[in-house]
Amino acid sequence: MVSASSTTSSPLSATIVEPTIFDLSSRGRVGVRMPESDVPAAEPPPQHLLRPELPLPELAEVDVVRHYMRLSKFNYSVDGGFYPLGSCTMKYNPKINEDVCRLPGFLFTHPLQPIETVQGNLALMYQLQEWLKEIAGFAAVTLQPAAGAHGEFTGVLMMRAYHKSRGDDKRVKMLIPDAAHGTNPASVGMMGMTVVTIPSDERGNVDLKALEAACDDTVVGMMLTNPNTLGLFDENIEKVIALVHGCGGLMYGDGANLNALLGIVRPGDLGFDVMHFNLHKTFAVPHGGGGPGVGPVGVAARLADFLPEPLVGILEEGDEDKDMPPLYGYMKPAKSIGRMKAFHGHFGGGFVRSFTYIAMHGPDGLKDIAQYAVLNANYLQARLRDTYHIPFDRICMHEFVAEGQFEGSDVRALDISKRLMDYNFHPPTNYFPLIVHEALMIEPTETENKDTLDAFAETMIKIAEEAKTNSAIVKSAPNNTQFGRMDEVKAARELVLCCWLPENYDLSA
């Protein structure tokens, strides 16, 4: 009965044949019993839309659980091992977050409920807005955007609206350093603005001369990640911001790397006008193929009127003496760019988890996070510096970028990453930032102990040795994972998104 519909071969392991969920199906097996309906029956869809032959598998609950459990074990996860995926901040997600977001009062609410019945939810959102304002030094925050990239889009829309509102129509150019994440130029491109790339200097800072030359009255502003994607804090940040402000531009902060700054530096104090947070990175929301992103945006006072609506605000002040809480509700900023998302953003999966995480750590705990994240990255950088070339070699922040290549060896960054999987480590980020050849971008996060960092460093050193003495085993990696090395081009060109259909099922029928 076992079909070969999901087979794989890797050079060193035998071909694995996995039963599909259809192989396990047997007529009449039942996994759920539907409760009796307590609403009036609705008309079924028209006959031509029904597919009586649709071959849905029939399974008992235990079969379904085992099916998904088995699939989940093919995956690598933060709960399973070290995950130094640079720029993504794959920190451990404390399980108390899960307890809190499953509290019935949060779980069983609907965004269309009357505000009187969801005051707890609104109070949580209000408090989260307040905390994010305080953490990053901004005048106001929207929680709406669905991820970092969506936050960028929101922020740039506000920048454009700000210039327009002043009758300043010439501004069409966004300055973006060559170290930037791809979402920055993409967000700007989506608005029909022009991207002007600003090179980095030899210390990994924004090249001030190039920036000065690009600053004129057609500049919308600059999008800057600080610390940048090399893991370096820009040593001239005040000059950079002064130059952009000097030509009437606004300063956008890509807040993906906020983990390095918590409790130490506030981007708003540095002069950033607008910044997105990646709550899923900095404030412990599971992400990456699994969880929803959350990309709140903070703004300085001059942009506050342009924020998306609705914000959560206090409609009626409370009275502590009378033990009366305030009444929370929705507010519309005066020149709002409008709505960015259905309802209010990712409430349970995002806001509640991040709220819990911030509440649990408090101000001192948040500062510890940044300090340990930076310490861990510098420790790893110091351990690997003699083996891997670090092109911008100075004290790093929460991550650093090494080169995955060696003289006289054909091993490349991708091979090193695949070989790490054989040793049960998740690979670092590869080939980003673009300004480093064979980039390996390593972000250990604060949640790893020294033993784990040492084990990873020793494995990286061992792979470098293998690259010189036995490069075949590195080039063929991963050799002992469930699936061998994928053809990434074919995977992208010939998407198969429903591999669970029976082999002979006719999709066009």
Give the one residue of 10, 24, 78, 87 binding ligand PLP; rule: CB under 6 A.
Answer: 87
For the beta carbon of residue 137, count every other beta carbon within 10 angstroms. 17
**Residue number with CB closer to ligand PLP (147 or 358):** 147
Nearer to ligand PLP, 84 or 293 (CB): 293
Residue with tokens 């088995």: 70
Stretch that binds ligand PLP, among 67-75, 143-151, 208-216, 408-416 (CB under 6 A): 143-151
Q: Which is nearer to ligand PLP, 254 or 466 (CB)?
A: 254
- Considering only CA atoms, which of 192, 133, 218, 232 is closest in space to residue 433? 232
Q: Of 121-129, 145-153, 245-253, 300-308, which part binds ligand PLP (CB under 6 A)?
A: 145-153
Q: What are phi and psi of 404, to 5 degrees?
A: -95, 60
From residue 172 to residue 211, the character string flagging contacts with ligand PLP as x (rule: CB under 6 A) and all else as - is ---------x-x----------------------------
Among 135, 136, 141, 147, indicate the residue that binds ligand PLP (CB under 6 A).
147
Output the smallest distance, CB 198 to ligand PLP, in A.
16
CA 176, distance to chain mean position in Å, is 20
Q: From residue 272 to residue 311, what is the string marking binding to ligand PLP with x (rule CB under 6 A)?
A: ------x--------------x-x----------------
Shortest separation between residue 103's beta carbon and ligand PLP, angstroms = 26
196 φ/ψ angles, rounded to the nearest 5 degrees: -115, 120
DSSP helix/strand/coil, 488: helix
Q: What are phi and psi of 17, to 5 degrees?
A: -110, 120
Q: Which of 207, 234, 254, 422 binds ligand PLP (CB under 6 A)?
A: 254
The nearest distance, CB 60 to ligand PLP, in angstroms, is 38
Which amino acid would we find at residue 455?
A
Take residue 225 and report the two structure tokens written for it: 């990640």
Pick from 242, 249, 251: which is nearest to 273 by CA?
251
Of 24 and 174, CB closest to ligand PLP:
174
* Distances, alpha carbon 490 to alpha carbons 421, 487, 494, in Å: 21, 5, 6
String of contacts with ligand PLP for each residue 365-394, x by CB under 6 A: ------------------------------
**Contact between 336 and ligand PLP per CB under 6 A:** no
Residue 40 vs 289, nearer CB to ligand PLP: 289
Residue 99 token pair = 């307890």
Give the residue with the Cβ less far from ligand PLP, 59 or 222: 222
| Long-range contact pairs involving 48-51 (C-beta distance under 8 Å, separation at least 24) | 51/509
Residue from 78, 128, 132, 149 that binds ligand PLP (CB under 6 A)?
A: 149
Asked whether position 414 contacts ligand PLP by CB under 6 A, the answer is no
Distance CA 102, CA 96 (A): 10
First to last CA, the chain: 25
Instruction: State which residue, 205 or 405, has the beta carbon closest to ligand PLP.
Output: 205
Cα torsion at 154, 159, 160, 161 (round to 10°)?
80
CB of 390 to ligand PLP, least distance (A): 19
Interface segment toward ligand PLP; rule CB under 6 A; list 142-150, 235-243, 352-360, 463-471: 142-150
Residue nearest to ligand PLP (CB): 148
Cα 401–chain centre separation: 19
β-strand pairing of 439-442 with 140-142: unpaired
Residue nearer to ligand PLP on the CB measure, 20 or 226: 226
Distances in whole angstroms, Cα of residue 141 to Cα of each of 115, 290, 473: 20, 26, 50
Q: Does 229 bind ligand PLP (CB under 6 A)?
A: yes
Least Å distance, CB 500 to ligand PLP, is 27
| Nearest distance from C-beta of residue 254 to ligand PLP, angstroms | 5
Closest to ligand PLP by CB, 278 or 405:
278
Task: Provide, rounded to whole angstroms, the least separation between the CB of residue 279 and ligand PLP.
Answer: 9
Q: Where are the beta strands (DSSP E) in 189-249?
A: 194-198, 219-225
Nearest to ligand PLP of 85, 464 (CB atom): 85
Q: What is the DSSP string of 94-138?
A: -THHHHHHTSHHHHT--TTS-GGG-HHHHHHHHHHHHHHHHHHT-
Q: Is 59 within 8 Å of 23 (Cβ atoms)?
A: no
Q: Which two tokens stand for residue 97?
A: 């977050």
Give the Cβ contact number of residue 183 at 10 Å: 19
* Phi, psi angle pair for 311, to nearest 5°: -95, 160
In contact, 222 and 174? CB cutoff 8 Å: yes
Tell me the number of residues near ligand PLP by CB under 6 A. 13
Closest distance to ligand PLP from the beta carbon of 377 (Å): 15
Among 205, 225, 259, 447, binds ligand PLP (CB under 6 A): 225
- SS3 category, 243: helix
Question: Coil, strand or helix: which one is 90?
Answer: coil
Residues in the site for ligand PLP, rule: CB under 6 A?
87, 147-149, 181, 183, 225, 229, 254, 256, 278, 293, 295
